[in-house]
Amino acid sequence: MIVVKDLTKYYGSFAAIQNLNFEVAAGEIVGFLGPNAAGKTTTLKILAGYMPPTGGFAAVNGYDCVGQSLAARQSLGYLPETVPLYPDLTVGQFLDFAAQAKGLDRSRRRQEVARAIADCSLESVRQTLIGVLSKGFRQRVGLAQALLGRPPLLILDEPTIGLDPAQIVEIRELIRQLAGEHTIILSSHILPEVSQLCQRVIIINRGQIVASDTPANLTQQLGHDARIHVVIHGPSADISKTLAAIPGVKGVHSQGNGAFTLEADLDTEVRPELARRIVQNGWDLLEMKTQEFTLEDVFINLVTEEELPVATPTVQ
Amino acid sequence: MSGCLAVWRKELTIYFATPIFYLTGFFFLLLAGYFFYSNLVYYTVLSFQAGQNPYLATMLNPLQMVYRPFFGNLAVLFLFIVPLLTMRLLAEEKRSGTMELLLTFPLTDWGVILGKFLAAFGLYALLLAVTVMYSIAFGLILTLDWLAIAVGYLGLLLLGGAFLALGLFSSSLTENQIIAAVIAFGLLLLFWIIGWYEELGPPAYQGLFRYLSMMGHFDTFSRGVLDTRDILYYLGFTYFFLFLTKRQLESRQWRG
């Protein structure tokens, strides 16, 4: 659905993205992850046909984003980061305009607008001027606009930014429902969101892809060790020594108040032995749980491996 | 084509949803009515005098004494009003970021430009149509040369197209509506009076200045004379500025 080859974009002498290469297959949901000014929005803008790249090639649905821009734009729905809308139009008027701009005829238009309004739960504000809508509604209007005409590809730039937690859940639910009939590429810097929604994550930093895999694989790659959190009532110096002696345990870190974090081999199950020794020594085991590496750890790991630039120009 | 229609419809909806059109329309009609009335009064006074002066009576001609100055007055009024109608067309899209939306819809640049131009032109024609009522009332008491008046209105429509194209172009240069209006007004005024320089400038360029002058080309229409050279001038002027607007929109392709 998306093919990106050696994509490069310069703003003046600043390289927003450099030699990006990735592909997205039809039906995939791909998360585009990175810190601010990493080049996420730039890449999505190029894919949406808003601006051409400085170098390289991008194609959407088999159409070159520059050479066959019109056909490429016909096959995508785009939600820009800032959700630009016309404040002087009502929601219904705006969606009708968007549908007509996408080339739908009158009957198809009525049908598509009705569907988008239903999908994004906008019935109550259909006659309301967009200018007076809350942020959450505006976001949904932006999403509804992208859905019109059922384009095979949806490009969503930070679809949940600026929303309250309840609204975030709603929008995520909506995106998940859409997954069936659209290929979706969405950008975000919220990690749980990406790990919940996406089948694949592309992590981008300073204009370059640093990782591309499923959320599970990414966390597994980083998670060489298992982490176990225990809280034990007893003399802490003895406990440290005893725990470190368990086969398979690589390190023990005391967290104070009887709490310890163990690093252990993934292959060895240390928990039965751990429990046994605590009981044998007459200590009280108050709590034990394994901690998984989150996508957040992966992200921080990948993004902070290199020293972050002192001043990165913000690029919209 | 459906893209052009979509943009046209959207622009008209916004025009009618915001006060700027109603306000400019109100003042335009107020002033247009005043101009027509004052020309008419002047004509009436002269008609009374012509009763005693047979020489003056031969000069009396409503086309020459009412309509010619009236069309000139309307043209000057539009000089002020057109920048107000066109200033938001592209500048506002840029400022609010909706340009990004517009340009990622499957619309051609010409579709966007023509949609916007035709929407503004529709309003212009609407304002002009209201002033036709004056002539209808006038025509009830006097026999008028309707064909000559129609030529005058055709001239105003062509002139309006040129004005609006230039206004649209200035709106594409900036994201500030005020700046867009100032540029449009400055350029329009310049093109309006550039003919004055005809007698003063170097002889080699006199023809050029006379040709560029919008006022000079308009005068034939306001006398009720149809001249293809003037029609071509206005159509060429309109196309030139629409073309510049398109180039300006395309410049996003190679600018950083």
Distance from CA of A294 to the nearest CA of B (A): 35
CB pair distance less than 8 Å for A84 and B107 = no
pLDDT category of residue A221 using cuts at 50, 70 and 90: low
CA atoms of A38 and A35, how far apart (whole Å): 6
Q: Is A73 on the interface with B (CB under 8 A)?
A: yes
| pLDDT of A315 strictly over 80 | no
pLDDT of residue B131: 94
Range of the domain at B202: 2-253
Q: Is B186 on the interface with A (CB under 8 A)?
A: no
Q: A262 forms bridges with which residues in the sheet?
A: A228, A252
Distance from CA of B124 to the nearest CA of A (A): 21
Distance from CA of A46 to the nearest CA of B (A): 10
Counted across chains A and B, CB pairs separated by less than 8 A come out at 79
Residues 108-147 of A with CB under 8 A from B: 145
Interface test with B, best of A100, A104, A150 (most B CBs within 10 A): A100
Q: Look at residue A258 and give its three-state secondary structure.
A: coil
Instruction: Convert the pLDDT of each residue in B127-180 to its tens digit.
Output: 999 999 999 998 898 888 899 999 999 999 999 999 999 999 999 999 999 999
Q: A253 forms bridges with which residues in the sheet?
A: A261
Q: Look at residue A117 and give its three-state secondary structure.
A: helix
CB A98 within 8 A of CB A145: yes
Instruction: Convert the pLDDT of each residue in A54-110 to its tens digit.
Output: 989 999 999 998 888 899 999 999 999 888 999 999 999 999 999 999 999 999 999
Given B3, B10, B96, which is nearest A103 (Cβ)? B3
User: Which listed CATH number (3.40.50.360, 3.30.365.10, 3.60.15.10, 3.40.50.300) goes with A2-220?
Assistant: 3.40.50.300
Chain A residues with CB-CB distance to B107 below 8 A: 101
pLDDT of residue A205: 84
Take residue B78 and report the two structure tokens written for it. Answer: 């539009």
The percentage of residues in chain A with a pLDDT greater than 90, rounded to a whole number, is 30
Q: Which of B61, B229, B51, B32 is nearest to B143 (CA)?
A: B61
Residue B91 contacts by C-beta under 8 Å, 6 or more apart in sequence?
B171, B172, B174, B175, B176, B177, B179, B180
CA atoms of A61 and A32, how far apart (whole Å): 18
Range list of β-strands (E), chain A: 2-11, 14-24, 29-33, 55-60, 63-64, 76-79, 153-157, 183-188, 200-205, 208-213, 225-233, 249-256, 259-265, 284-291
Mean pLDDT score across all residues of chain A? 85
| Per-residue CA distances from A293 to A231, A236, A262, A263, B228 (Å) | 20, 26, 14, 12, 79
CA atoms of B17 and A120, how far apart (whole Å): 25
| β pairing state of A259-265 and A249-256 | antiparallel
Chain B residues with CB-CB distance to A80 below 8 A: 97, 100-101, 104
Distance from CA of B6 to the nearest CA of A (A): 5
Distance from CA of A173 to the nearest CA of B (A): 24
| pLDDT of A285 strictly over 50 | yes
Q: Is A103 on the interface with B (CB under 8 A)?
A: yes
CA atoms of A205 and A243, how far apart (whole Å): 39
Distance from CA of A88 to the nearest CA of B (A): 6
Q: Look at residue A250 and give its three-state secondary structure.
A: strand
CA atoms of A112 and A142, how far apart (whole Å): 15
Measured in whole angstroms, how far is the alpha carbon of residue A220 from the centre of its chain?
18
CA atoms of A15 and A55, how far apart (whole Å): 11
CB A198 within 8 A of CB A186: yes
pLDDT of residue A310: 46
User: How much is the pTM?
Assistant: 0.84
CB pair distance less than 8 Å for A101 and B253 = no
Q: Is A36 on the interface with B (CB under 8 A)?
A: no
Closest chain B residue to A86, measured at CA: B98
pLDDT category of residue A39 using cuts at 50, 70 and 90: confident
CB pair distance less than 8 Å for B2 and A105 = yes
pLDDT of residue A309: 47
In total, how many domains does chain B have? 1
| pLDDT of A193 strictly over 90 | no
| pLDDT of A224 strictly over 70 | no
CA atoms of B17 and A314, how far apart (whole Å): 36
Torsion of CA A18, A22, A26, A27, to 10 degrees: -90
Residue B105 contacts by C-beta under 8 Å, 6 or more apart in sequence?
A73, A98, A101, A102, B3
| Residue bearing tokens 């659905």 | A1
Q: Is B12 on the interface with A (CB under 8 A)?
A: no
Chain A residues with CB-CB distance to B253 below 8 A: 51-52
pLDDT of residue A290: 79
| Per-residue CA distances from A239 to A230, A243, A268 (Å) | 11, 6, 20
| pLDDT of A313 strictly over 70 | no
| pLDDT of A288 strictly over 70 | yes
Chain B residues with CB-CB distance to A86 below 8 A: 10, 14, 96, 98
Given B17, B100, B105, which is nearest A102 (Cβ)? B105
CB A229 within 8 A of CB A287: yes
Q: Look at residue A264 and give its three-state secondary structure.
A: strand
pLDDT of residue B194: 84
Q: Look at residue A71 and give its three-state secondary structure.
A: helix
| β pairing state of A29-33 and A76-79 | unpaired
Interface test with B, best of A54, A74, A102 (most B CBs within 10 A): A102
pLDDT of residue A223: 59
Take residue A115 and report the two structure tokens written for it. Answer: 């569907």
Domain with CATH 3.30.70.100 in chain A: 225-292
pLDDT of residue A203: 86
pLDDT of residue A312: 45
Q: Is B118 on the interface with A (CB under 8 A)?
A: no
More confident residue, A253 or B124: B124
pLDDT of residue A307: 47
The values of phi and psi at residue B18, to 5°, are -115, 155
Lowest-confidence pick of A88-92, A271-275, A308-312, B5-9: A308-312
Burial category of B59 from C-beta neighbours within 10 Å (exposed 0-12, middle 13-18, buried 19 and up): exposed
Closest chain B residue to A53, measured at CA: B253
Q: Which of A145, A153, A141 is nearest to A185 (CA)?
A: A153
DSSP state of B197: G
Lowest-confidence pick of A2-6, A210-214, A263-267: A263-267
Q: A204 forms bridges with which residues in the sheet?
A: A209
Give ipTM to 2 decimals.
0.87
CA atoms of A37 and A123, how far apart (whole Å): 36
Distance from CA of A9 to the nearest CA of B (A): 9
pLDDT category of residue A280 using cuts at 50, 70 and 90: confident
| pLDDT of A316 strictly over 70 | no
| pLDDT of A311 strictly over 60 | no
What fold characterizes domain A225-292?
A: Alpha-Beta Plaits (3.30.70)
pLDDT of residue A225: 66
Q: Helices (H) and strands (E) in chain A — how many of each?
A: 11, 14
One-letter amino acid for residue A260 of the chain: F
| Per-residue CA distances from B237 to A141, A246, B188, B212 (Å) | 40, 89, 12, 9
CA atoms of A294 and B41, how far apart (whole Å): 86
pLDDT of residue A249: 83
Q: Is A305 left (phi over 0), alpha (psi -120 to 50) or beta?
A: alpha
pLDDT of residue A35: 80
Q: Which residues of chain B have pLDDT under 50?
A: none
The values of phi and psi at residue A288, to 5°, are -150, 125
